Structure 1
Amino acid sequence: MRSSRRRPLLAPVLLCALAVLAARPTAADGDPGDDSGVSAQVAHLYQEASAATQRYEAGRHAAEAQRAQAQHYEELLERERLEMDALRKDLGRIARAQYRDGGGLPLTAQILLAGTPDQMMRNQHAFLRAGLIVDNAVGKRRRAEERLLADEAKARTAWQALEQRNAELAALKKEIDDKLEQARWQLQGQADAAVAAGSCRGAVRLDQPPIDGTHAWVAPVETYQLSAGFGSGGARWAHRHTGQDFAVPIGTPVRAAGAGQVVKVSCGGAFGIEIVLQHPGGYYTQYAHLAAVTVDQGQRVVAGQWIGQSGTSGNSTGPHLHFEVRVTPEMGSALDPVPWLAERGVPVG
């Protein structure tokens, strides 16, 4: 399973950013019956769900960091409790020492009953010293108790804030995911209707993200899990599987694996809605079982450009992209796409 890159995010802006995403209207909000509008809505929600997931994961990492901080607080509190126990013992020891040294008499009485001036001075010095020790011990204990209470309050506040933030992040993420799931199946319904009618509904226009032009070849989808591989057998194929399947949700943006020209857009038969691209060097790539296309036949594309949205149209048991590499535009000339992509610097797996 591949994961899209995560960027470090500041915890204080997580909720604000997600709230904006959840509240922002999409292109389809004004006309839910418009075909292009549903595709655009899915594309927008797909990006928002991805952003929500990244922020939720950032919140989860923040929770782990907060948990470590809370553990640190607990260790500090335990040390402070031990120090307070030691202070109580010190106070008891001082009291016992005063009683023992004074023979049970208060130090003031010992000064008054001293037989000589030297003895009186010694008794007075001992009185002052003992008083200072007691005052220091009492003050230290009081400060330790105040620090203990403050640290306990800090730990409680940190945990409450963390739990509230993560609950809000989870709720916003679920709201976006629910909206996306509903829009995905609406998009798939339009695709199924087009396939049943044998009439493609034309290219939809989506706002695409900036394309990284540093790579000549890319994987056809950014985040995926591999399912059926090239050459595998199964009841759904007449002979052997002729491509590599990428298990992805409906509406996932499908990218041109490399620069080329669209030589085929169709929406009938076992492949459902499909696109075939011609690339320099005599190779062709096919993208099948789509829910929508975003390019027209004859159009030129670059590596990484969105050319469609994944689905489960045609002879398909579930949402996925069927990807083939061929030496002709038609079936029967397929190559194993995994090593073919690897030779071009795109490891798949």
Structure 2
Amino acid sequence: MRSPRRHPLLVPALLCALAVLAARPTGTSEAVDDGEDTHSAADAGINAQVLRLYEDAAVATQQYEAGRREAEVQRAQAVRFEALLDRERRGIAVLNEDLGRIARAQYRSGGGLPITAQMILADSPDELMRGQRAVWQADLAVNNAIDKSRRAEQRLAADEAKAEAAWQELDRHTGELAALKKDIEAKLDQARWQLQGQADASVTAGSCRGAVRLDQPKTGAMKTWVAPVESYALSAGFGSGGERWANRHTGQDFAVPIGTPVRAVGEGHVVKVSCGGPFGIEVVLQHAGGYYTQYAHLAAVTVDQGERVSPGQWVGQSGTTGNSTGPHLHFEVRVTPEMGSAVDPASWLSARGVSLG
């Protein structure tokens, strides 16, 4: 028979077992982790979608420009048709004048008399024959003029149809290209702001989403130093004044749409990735010679802290996070990783063979 004094020991043993079981990961928590991975993958999808739509938009723009040049050729052809039509209309007017002149001449010369009347009124057979020849020649001239006028009118009608078809084809082709371009740009704009929404959420939470791994461009043949974005319009420059800055502007702004790939200007490594503060999402790189470059107001980053980068490698995508009044890249060159040590980025890049003109 078991001793009743051993039963109280079961309680602590059961509590320890329950504590161990509670500390182990459950199937529910693993599912949450998988959901977070799926969410991250979905987030990365919008970054890639923006880049793909940029490529589609570039192709559509090229097609649109090619179509526009083709439309100019068609327009010139249609104008030539119109000029031909004008000449033909003037020619028909001349033919009609000739017909009227021939008809008036016949009336004055009696060309309209019937043959019986001419035979009665003729003084001699020779006069009769001369009159007949004149009548036949007049009739031949009239018939030729009428045939020529009819052929001209038929050509005019055909050319008018060609001209109308040319204008209709021009309008159709131009409309199709414009609709294609507009559709892609609308999709791109929607994707851009979806990407920006994710970035704003990260900044609000003060937590970066982590590097988004995108298909990087080939950088092997690139120069040692490049501009931070490939295509841009310069906006606020270094040292410029304004209400948006406490003192003077500390960098060079590049006006680019949301999602534009931002490039490392030179070889270096990532010393900072931050998602809060006035610069929003930012990346800071360290380069040889004791210089640092900053890329701010991003919508996403494509590198991790400590990672080495090559000239032209994408380090992020532009956006309008932080204290930003619109989509652009804020680019700085510093002698320390932190703000307050900025130098003129345009001059700095120019000394390395990169002109921002």
- Same fold by TM-score, threshold 0.5 exceeded? yes
Aligned to 1:324: 332
Out of 192, 202, 225, the residue aligned to residue 200 of structure 2 is 192
Give the Cα separation in 1 of the matches to 2:129 and 2:353: 92
Aligned to 1:135: 143
**Cα distance, 1:258–1:120 mapped onto 2, change above 3 Å:** farther
Give the Cα separation in 2 of the matches to 1:209 and 1:154: 48
Aligned to 1:150: 158
Aligned to 1:12: none
Aligned to 2:210: 202
Q: CA RMSD in A?
A: 3.0
Out of 320, 333, 339, the residue aligned to residue 341 of structure 2 is 333
The offset of 1:32, in angstroms, is 9.5
Aligned to 1:182: 190
TM-score, length of structure 1 as denominator length: 0.79
Q: Is the 8 A contact 1:243 1:322 kept in 2?
A: yes
Kindly provide the amino acid, as one letter, of the partner of residue 284 in structure 2: V
The offset of 1:293, in angstroms, is 1.4
Give the Cα separation in 2 of the matches to 1:346 and 1:108: 101
Q: Is the 8 A contact 1:43 1:206 kept in 2?
A: no
Matched ranges for 1:205-244 at <5 A: 205-209=213-217, 213=221, 215-244=223-252
Aligned to 1:45: 53
The offset of 1:334, in angstroms, is 1.9
Kindly provide the amino acid, as one letter, of the partner of residue 64 in structure 2: Y
TM-score, length of structure 2 as denominator length: 0.78
Matched ranges for 1:1-349 at <5 A: 34-102=42-110, 104-106=112-114, 110=118, 119=127, 122-209=130-217, 213=221, 215-349=223-357
For the pair shown, which has the larger CA radius of gyration, 1 or 2? 2
In the alignment of these two chains, the number of paired residues is 320
Question: Greater RCO between the two (CA within 8 Å, min separation 6)?
Answer: 1
Q: Is the 8 A contact 1:31 1:37 kept in 2?
A: no
**Cα distance, 1:134–1:333 mapped onto 2, change above 3 Å:** same
Bigger CA drift: 176-185 or 103-112? 103-112
Kindly provide the amino acid, as one letter, of the partner of residue 340 in structure 1: W
Kindly provide the amino acid, as one letter, of the partner of residue 245 in structure 1: D
Q: Which structure 1 segments of 5+ residues have no match?
A: 1-29
Q: Which structure 2 segments of 5+ residues have no match?
A: 1-37
Bigger CA drift: 297-306 or 105-114? 105-114
Identity %: 71
Q: Deviations over 1:155-203 (max 9, x none)?
A: 2222222223333333333322222222222211221222233332222
The structure with the greater share of residues assigned to helix is: 2
**Cα distance, 1:126–1:310 mapped onto 2, change above 3 Å:** same
